[in-house]
Amino acid sequence: MRLIQIVCFLSTLAISVTFANAGTITLTGQDLFNSSISTFPTRTPVINGTEINFGYGIDQFEILIDYTWASANTVVAGDTLSVSISMRRILFDFDPPFMISDGTNALGVFASNNDGGTAWAATSLNHSSAVVAPFTILPGPIISSPAGYPSIGDLVTFNLDFVLNASTTDVSLSFLDGSGSRAINTALDLSQPLHFLIVGDNNDEKYGISEITFSSESTAVPEPSTYALVLAGLLCIGIIRQTNRVSTNP
């Protein structure tokens, strides 16, 4: 009986490891500042309590966040990478772009306080460094009706999904009263490490980042060995239940 329990435990452990191809992590701005997954290639932010703030200046800024932690296995076509980020509007101008980059191409969305809160798809193709600016805003907004925008000093949460297809990348954004999506006719190279970028739109931007949550969801088909593990685990559970029933009803 003890041997059967050990076998069942190992089968369950193997199943949990096999299916652990998605992850979630939540960081405050201060956590992000101190985390090994983030770098600041153009400007170092200022810690303000648990937030980090970026002041305006002579150059654009970027936060480069390593997204490879999000999957225990290799990211494959069809996977979804999601980000929820709570940002504070510090100055009047507040147009944050959010992108996923494979080191060569960066794809994402660009939120704008113009016209009451709109959003557009954006790309930076064949960039040769971590700095993706300048980027190209694609024609046709993904959020055209005013979504609303936070007052200066207030927080707003942006929710983003990036679906990594074989030949396209689907991006979606929701914030306040608006939501929309766009298929970008460029695919990221999934054999390369992926990074999430928060980019300054221009020299007059000033953002505060309060909290950010990253998650991933894989659509990968399990290997045949995975199904064998599941079957073995179910069989073990049945054996243990039958054994317990017999022992309690002699």
Q: Could you tell me how many helices (H) and strands (E) the chain has, helices first? A: 3, 15
Q: Where are the domains of the chain?
A: 1-21+223-250, 22-219
Neighbouring-strand partners of residue 235: none
- Separation between Cα atoms, residue 44 and residue 42, nearest integer Å: 7
Q: Is the pLDDT of residue 88 over 80?
A: yes
Q: Could you tell me if 45 and 52 are in contact, meaning their C-beta atoms sit under 8 angstroms apart?
A: yes
Q: Is the pLDDT of residue 230 over 60?
A: no
Query: pLDDT digit string (tens) for 45-54?
Result: 888 899 988 7
**Residue 143: partners with Cβ closer than 8 Å, 6 or more residues away:** 117, 118, 119, 173, 178, 179, 180
Taking residues 110-138, report their average pLDDT: 78
Six token digits for residue 244: 């317990």
pTM confidence score: 0.76
What is the structure's pLDDT at 183? Answer: 95
Q: Is the pLDDT of residue 225 over 80?
A: no
Query: pLDDT digit string (tens) for 142-180?
Result: 998 777 788 888 999 999 999 999 999 999 999 988 899
Spell out the CATH class of 22-219.
mainly beta
**Residue 147: partners with Cβ closer than 8 Å, 6 or more residues away:** 116, 117, 118, 119, 175, 176, 177, 178, 179
Lowest mean pLDDT among 6-10, 73-77, 89-93: 6-10
